[in-house]
Each structure stands twice: as structure tokens, then as C-alpha cells.
Amino acid sequence: MKLSRKWLAEFTDIQASDIEYADRMTITGSKVEGGEDLGAEIQNVVLGRIVSVERHENADTLWVCTVDVGQDEPTVIVTGADNLKPGDFCPVALHKSLLPGGVEIKKGKLRGVTSNGMLGSLNELELTIHDYPYSVEDGILTFTPDEMASYQPGDDIRPIIGKDDRVVEFEITSNRPDCLSVIGLARESAASFDTALTIREPQVKGSGGSVLEHVDVEIWDEDLCPRYTARVVRNVKIEPSPVWMRQRLRASGVRPINNIVDITNYVMLEYGQPMHAFDRACLDGDQIIVRRATAGETMDTLDGVTRTLTDALVIADAEKAVGIAGVMGGADSEITENTRTVVFESANFNATSIRKTASRLGLRTDASSRFEKGLDPLGTLPAVQRACELVELLGAGEVVDGVVDVIAADRAPVALALEAERINALLGTDISRDQMVAILEKVGFTVDGADQVTVPSWRLDVHEYVDLAEEVARFYGYNVIPATMFRGATAQGGFNQQQKQERITGELLQGLGYYEILTYAFTGQTAYDKIRLPEDAPQRESLTILNPLGEDTSRMRTMALPSMLEILARNLNYRNESARFYEIARVYLPNSERETLCDEALRLTLGAYGEGMDFFQLKGAVEALLDAMNITGISWTAKADNPAFHPGRCAELIRDGQSLGCLGQLHPLTVKNYGREEDLYAAELDLDALFAAIGQERTYVPWPKYPAVTRDIAVVCEDSVTVADLQAVIAEAGGKHLGESRLFDIYTGAPIPEGKKSVAFALRYQAADRTLTDEDADKATTKILASLERQLNAVIR
């Protein structure tokens, strides 16, 4: 909401500087978002009166003017415009003056004649033809004699063109549509600065006749239109509105159009009540009916679009709709130069109905955005009276006697008890009852001797004591309320087990060199295409947002891997040479059994590339994490059928027969889908399952008293035999004293035959009750070697 301080001054006299005004209004709840001094960029520009106009001796396109600028002698100014004649008033930018946009004007010679400045056009003063409809667009701005009644040549131009004003921009919260008006903000201003508020009751003289000779109103849908007020103006003369009105509208960001339309806008800005003016001639019969549109009913709106009115509330005559209530009028009933009789409509409509209609038609107007917040039902009459008062003031027509005012649903004033003690208990203050009353009365509430508060009709947001508490608090001062710490039974705060685990997991991964990332929960089908997920993969079944920002953000992800790959590729694109990332991410797995549609599962994703990174680095990090988290019983199996990964370099983590996720090197085609060709590594693990697998806290186990005996063995076997296969046989054959079989070397190449490999293990034997002998170790080792040969055809090297 843009508020002109000059307009504000008609209702209350605020002496505060612009900064003081903004601060104080903000602190009492009307947040000032900004402001503009309209004439800030204009300096040393004055009113001039043309004395003479003569053709330049040396130039066919230039004129030499002598201009009275209030000095002893007229000054000489050269111009190219042809619209001037002696006696005209116009703006004169004198020597060393400033115009909007930082344009500096100095005297200078034009073809041998010294010009002591410049005559101003609309454009140069940041004005338009709408502000000065009597002027010309491509010449010098000239003023009409009545506009000049109280000005002299030499006067500062800024007050004359309405640029001596300060426009304050407010952010008005949705509960206070009453503040979307000059009067509403004047009331808040007066209460904030303790100044008197003067709201004059509009006076309409009238011109005889009776409104009922022209229109009558019937409300068919009383729930959607509690009140409809109208007056009629005849013998209308459509012309531009006066300069002061145009300037007010312009300062408020509204374009002046003609006197009747400007009056409706002026009243809307001043009172906050949207008005509609339409041509009486377009009505068939004299009946105005307020009703719901019939199925399939259409109408052309003012903006020239044919609209289907389904469910909308319309203003109609006996035959057809002439306007969409509270949203936009019909093209047929528009005010034109030929309009002779005007109906001013000032009505109150149901907020939700207006919002739905505006939203469905994609047609949000100044009027609809006010109605949809809910307006004062008593506001219709003063507004229509003010409009008629302005008609008479402007001489725009003759106001017919009588007002049509149909009250379909009366709203009783809201009455509340002023519970001063309870308000203090809520605020933590000690404000006296009298101070509360004084504050409430400043903003329009009345309080009787029995502490019964009557809420003003425009405050539809006040329902109970807490609302009164806010009124009291904001003028008492939020910043005056003390700051205390709440008391009460002390409670044990803290994280739950899972929240603790999440933090620990993150810390462990950071220790392993992984940086945390945060990615979006949205995804799209193309993300699944990129990781080469088959068309029929169950992971593609994801929850769909019906109104997404775009296709790529239309689904809730069921996997976090694509997000990680996106980040890896982006970092490669940024030339970050190597990187290791982790994310503890939520995925959204559709589950029709759930009331909230899905299981929101926790996933841990790791992603890495660059120096020193390979499959075993990644696996080692996961193993270290599992160990630190005290998760045991994990086995690893080769996974060749995950299309995202390299078929020979992908492992699945299995525990108790359940998959906990997989890790590996990404398939080169997956990497290519992200526009890269480097080796990328990633893991996606089921973090909920990992947390569930965390073992009991470990207790101390003393280490054996007797020394261990070690034996190293190396066997040659087929390439296809895995280390896990070999270790399984070793464990089985090793006997009760075999403690561990640690892999320490794998070798291929000469002299080992093609297709075979040499695998070396360090075996460690130990007994709890005695020192083992060499014979014990040799016996066990021989047995192991025999089993390896028998079961896996792995022979000692």
C-alpha cells in the first residue's frame, strides 16, 4: 500500500520526519517497506510564463522564447517544441538545475543564441499524458489557467506537479485490509503519534428525483452478498478529473482515466471500499440482481476477454450479467464518453467466494484482492456517499436523491469483555485498565463502564481476548514488555537415540574425509533415466506433486543416488580435482497403508572421485564406519545387475539376508549421462536399517595371555575364486586355534599362469590356555592347504 503523506495530512497532522514516521509505524505494526520523495531528483525547476515566441534566426526547427520566471527581467530560452504561445504556463529548468534521472541543465548557445535553461516536457519530469490530459505528449508541458490560479511565475515546480510529496510504502498483513486505505493508515498513524484523527462525514446535496426511478436491487444469494449499496448520477459529463485528484492517484500508483473512474479509485484508496461505476444505459429493465452465474453463462469483461462465469457471483439485470461481483465489470457497461447516467455500486461480498472466482478466472484485481481479505460490511454507505460528494465537487454530474441500500445479512457488532488481568497475564506486563482503554479507544474500539468492549466494524480480525491483548501490546510497545525466562518444572531436554546417531554418523564420515552436502528432495523421471533405471523399476513409482515448479521437480525422490551424482558432476565441472561427499537424506517411498502416503526413509549416500579414490577406498570407508558404529555380521556380494554401477565393481551389503544398500564404481554410461567420463564412486545405504543393526555396547575382553604363532601361506587358484571363498575354507579347516586369516597379497602375472592368481594370507594361531608349538601351527596349516586344494583347487605356491 502506497500512502501519500499529503493525503494522510487531510486526516491527521503528523509532524514526524520521514524516518521517525517509518520507524514508529513499523514498531506499532504497520511495517514500512520503503518510501520515495517524489521530487527528490528535481532541483531549480520553476514555473514560467511565456512572454514571446519567435522563430530562431539560424534554425528552422528552433524557437526563441522569452519567459517570465519571476525575476526582474524575462529570461531567454531556446526550444524545439512548437506548442507554445505567449501567456502559456510551463515548467522551466533554469541554469544549473536537475531533472529526474540525474540530468543536469546548464545554459548554453544554440546556433548563436544563448539559452538560459530548458523548458520541460512531460517525459522529462517523469509524468505521462494521463497526469496531464490537456497537455501534449511530444511538446512542452503546459498548464491550464485554473491549475495556475494560486501560482506565480518563479514558483518551485514541485508542488505544482504534485512532486512535493512523500510516498510511504507499507507492507499490510492479510488480517488488516482496513489498512489498505488512507483512512485506515491515518487511524493507525494518529494512534501511533497520539494526534487527533478527523474523519469528515461526506455531504451530498442531491439534485432531486429518486434513485428508484433508475434502479432497484435484489440480492438472490444473500450468503455471498451481505450488503449492496448504490446511488445514481445523471447528466454525467465525462472529462479528466482535476489535477489534485490525478496527483493523489498517481502518488498511490493508480493511473488517472476520467472523472467517474478516478472517483471510484479515489474512494477505494481513501476508504478501502472498492467501488464500481457502470453505465445505467446498459441495463435491460431497472432491476439489478445479485446472483450466482448460471451454468455455462459467459460475459465479456472490461479487459476484452470472454469469460465463463461458472459459480461466480454476478451483478446482472433481468437478462444478463453486467459484471463479476467484486472482480471486474462487464465490457458492455463500461463508462465511456457517451455515458449519461452512472450507477455507483458499493457492495460487500463474501471473501471466499471472491477469492475462488478471482483464482479460477486468473483475474486478480485491486478490488478482488481487497474483497478476498474480508471488508467492513458497514463501509459501503460512507464510500458511496463520498463518491457522490466528489461528483458534486468535481461537477461531474447530478446526484439523484436517495440511496439503494439492501442489507441481506446484518452483522451484529462484536462485543468482548476487557479482561485486563488476563491480558497482563498473557503479556507478562502490568498495564493499568485505564491505559488499556485509552489504547483501544485510539484505534476505534469503545469500552463502556462495565468493561464491555465493542469492536469496530472494520476489525473483522478481532474475536477474543488475545486479539485485544495484541492491540494493547502494540501501542504499549512490544519493546517495552520485559524479557524474562519461563519458569516451571525443569525438563530434561535432548536428542533421541536416532538424532544422536545421525550426528555421530556425520562426524565419523567427516573424520574419513567426507564433506556433507544438502540436496533437494524433488526429482523427475529424467533423474531415473540418467542412472539407467529400467522403465519398470519399482523405484520409479514415486509420489507426484500435482502443482510442481517443473517436470524435473515433480516427484518426491525414492533414491538419493541421482542427487549425489548431480553434485559430483557439478564439482567436476567446477574443476574441483577430487572430492568426497556424504548426505544423510530422506527418501519418500510410497506406501498406501500410510496415512501420510509414504515412508520417509533415511538414506546415507556417499560419493567420491579423484586422487587416491577407488573401489576399495570407498569400501574401506564404509567398513570403518560400520566398525565405528558397532555393526557386525555384514557380508559383501558382487552385484552385477545394478544398471547404475559398473557390473564388475559393485557390491551389495547383506546382513541377516537383508540388503542394506550397495556401493561401487558407477557405470561409464551413467557417468556419461551426467556429462562426464571420470571414474565416479558412490554408495547408497539404508540408514534406518544400519541404525537398527547397531550392536549392544561392547564390554572389555582381555587379550590372551599366551603368545600367538603365525604362518604365511600363498596359494595359486583360478581368477574366479574370491577371497571370501578362500577365507571361508580356511576358517572351516583351520581348527579351533585359528584366530584370523589376514589377506596380505594378491599377485597375477609371470610366473603365475594366465587366468590364475596367487593369494597370500597371514594365519594366526593362538590358544587361551597354553603356548602353541610349531607342530600345532604346522599341523593346522597343512590341513588348511589340503582343504584349499581339495575344495577350490588352490595349490600352495
Partner 1 sequence: MKEQLHALQSEALGLIAEAGDIPTLEGLRVRFLGKKGELTAILKQMGQLDPNQRPVIGQLANAVSAEITEAIQMRREVLEAADLDQRLRAEQLDVTIPGTAQVIGKRHPMMKTLDEALDIFIGMGFTVAEGPEIEFAANVFDKLNTAEGHPSRDWQDTFYFDQADKHVLRTHTSSVQIRVMENQTPPIRVVSPGRVYRKDEVDATHSPMFHQIEGLVVDKGITMADLKGTLNALVQELYGAGTKTRFRPHHFPFTEPSCEVDCQCFKCSGAGCSMCKGEGWIELLGAGMVHPNVFRNCGIDPDEYTGFAFGVGLERMTMMRFNISDLRLIFENDLRFLRQF
> Quick one: angle between helices 615-628 and 497-511, nearest 10?
140
CB of 134 closer than 8 Å to CB of 243? no
The alpha helices in 549-664, defined as continuous H runs, are: 561-573, 615-628
Which lies closer to partner 1 via its Cβ, residue 206 or residue 506? Answer: 506
Closer Cβ to partner 1, 132 or 522, answer by number:
522
Q: CA-to-CA distance for 461 and 179, rounded, in angstroms?
A: 12
Query: Would you count residue 574 as binding partner 1 (CB under 8 A)?
Result: yes
Q: How many angstroms separate the CA atoms of 681 and 644, rounded?
A: 11
Give the residue with the Cβ less far from partner 1, 486 or 703.
486
**Does residue 518 contact residue 567 with C-beta atoms inside 8 Å?**
no
> Helix, strand or coil for residue 381?
helix
Contacting residues for 222 by C-beta, under 8 A, at least 6 apart: 408, 409
Question: CB of 573: closest distance to partner 1 in angstroms?
Answer: 10
State the nearest-atom distance from the C-beta of 422 to partner 1, in Å.
Answer: 9
Least distance to partner 1 from the beta carbon of 499, Å? 6
Restricting to residues 138-157, name those near partner 1 by CB under 8 A: none
Q: Which stretch binds partner 1 (CB under 8 A): 190-198, 216-224, 378-386, 419-427?
A: 419-427
Question: Which of 43, 52, 66, 429 is the binder for partner 1 (CB under 8 A)?
Answer: 429
With contacts defined by CB under 8 A, name the span among 83-91, 246-254, 307-315, 489-497 that binds partner 1. 489-497
Select from 189-197, 300-308, 510-518, 779-787 the region that touches partner 1 (CB under 8 A): 510-518
Interface pick for partner 1 out of 71, 235, 499, 630 (rule CB under 8 A): 499
Nearer to partner 1, 318 or 545 (CB): 545
**Residues in 616-635 that interact with partner 1 by CB under 8 A:** none
- Measured CA to CA, the distance from residue 603 to residue 463 in angstroms comes to 47
In whole angstroms, what separates CA 783 from the centre of its chain?
Answer: 74
Among the listed ranges 28-36, 625-633, 684-692, 714-722, the one in contact with partner 1 (CB under 8 A) is 28-36
Max alpha carbon distance in the chain (Å)? Answer: 131
Q: Which helix (H) or strand (E) holds 439?
A: helix 433-442
Touching partner 1, residues 515-544 (CB under 8 A): 515-522, 543-544
Rg (CA), the chain: 42
Query: Is 509 near partner 1 (CB under 8 A)?
Result: yes
Sequence letter at residue 745: D
Residues 158-177 that bind partner 1 (CB under 8 A): 173-176
The site string for partner 1 over 242-261 (x = CB under 8 A, - otherwise) reads: --------------------
Least separation in angstroms between residue 707's CB and partner 1 is 34
**Residue 705, SS3 per DSSP:** coil
Q: Does 598 bind partner 1 (CB under 8 A)?
A: yes
Considering beta carbons, is residue 244 or 520 the nearer one to partner 1? 520
In the complex, the smallest distance separating the C-beta of residue 226 from partner 1, rounded to whole angstroms, is 16
Q: Which span sits near partner 1 by CB under 8 A: 280-288, 306-314, 578-586, 655-663?
A: 578-586
Interface segment toward partner 1; rule CB under 8 A; list 208-216, 311-319, 422-430, 679-687:
422-430
Cell of 19: 524516518
Q: Which stretch binds partner 1 (CB under 8 A): 70-78, 503-511, 523-531, 662-670?
A: 503-511
Cβ pair 70, 153 in contact under 8 A: yes
**Cβ closer to partner 1: 173 or 773?**
173
Going residue by residue from 447 to 486, which x/- string records binding to partner 1, judged by CB under 8 A?
--------------x--x-xx-xx--xx---xx-xxxxxx
Question: C-alpha cell of 27?
Answer: 514498531
Q: Of the ranges 385-393, 423-431, 432-440, 534-542, which one interacts with partner 1 (CB under 8 A)?
A: 423-431
Q: In the numeric block, which cell numbers belong to residue 727?
A: 577365507
In degrees, rounded to 5, the angle at the alpha carbon of residue 146 between the alpha carbons of residues 144 and 149 is 115
| Window 259 to 318, contacts with partner 1 (CB under 8 A) | none
Closer Cβ to partner 1, 436 or 715, answer by number: 436
Q: Is 22 exposed, middle or buried (0-12, 13-18, 19+ CB in 10 A)?
A: buried
Distance between CA 141 and CA 135 in Å, rounded?
A: 6
Options 10, 16, 24, 27; binder of partner 1; rule CB under 8 A: 27
C-alpha span between 321 and 655 (Å, rounded) = 72
Q: Is the peptide bond before 145 cis (omega within 30 degrees of 0)?
A: no
Binding of partner 1 by 496 (CB under 8 A): yes
Look at phi and psi of residue 751 and say left if phi exceeds 0, alpha if psi is from -120 to 50, else beta: alpha
The answer to whether 248 and 351 have CB atoms below 8 angstroms apart is: no
**Nearest to partner 1 of 409, 543 (CB atom):** 543
Q: How far is the CB of 745 from partner 1 (least distance, A)?
A: 25
| Backbone torsions φ then ψ of 519, nearest 5 degrees | -125, 165
- List 208, 494, 702, 755, residue binding partner 1 (CB under 8 A): 494
451 vs 461, which CB is nearer to partner 1?
A: 461
x/- mask, partner 1, residues 355-374, rule CB under 8 A, reads xx--x------------x--
Enumerate residues 544-573 that contact partner 1 by CB under 8 A.
544-549, 553, 556, 567, 570-571
Instruction: Count other Cβ atoms within 10 Å, centred on residue 544.
Output: 10
Q: SS3 letters for 21-84? A: HHHHHHHCCCEEEEEEECCCCCEEEEEEEEEEEEECCCCCCCEEEEEECCCCCCEEEEECCCCC
Cβ proximity to partner 1: between 487 and 698 the closer is 487
Distance CA 668, CA 651 (A): 17
Check binding of 493 to partner 1 (CB under 8 A): yes
Is the Cβ of residue 310 or residue 748 nearer to partner 1 in the bound state? 310
Q: Which is nearer to partner 1, 18 or 164 (CB)?
A: 18
94-123: contacts with partner 1 (CB under 8 A): none
Crossing angle between the packed helical segments 465-476 and 433-442, to the nearest 10 degrees: 90
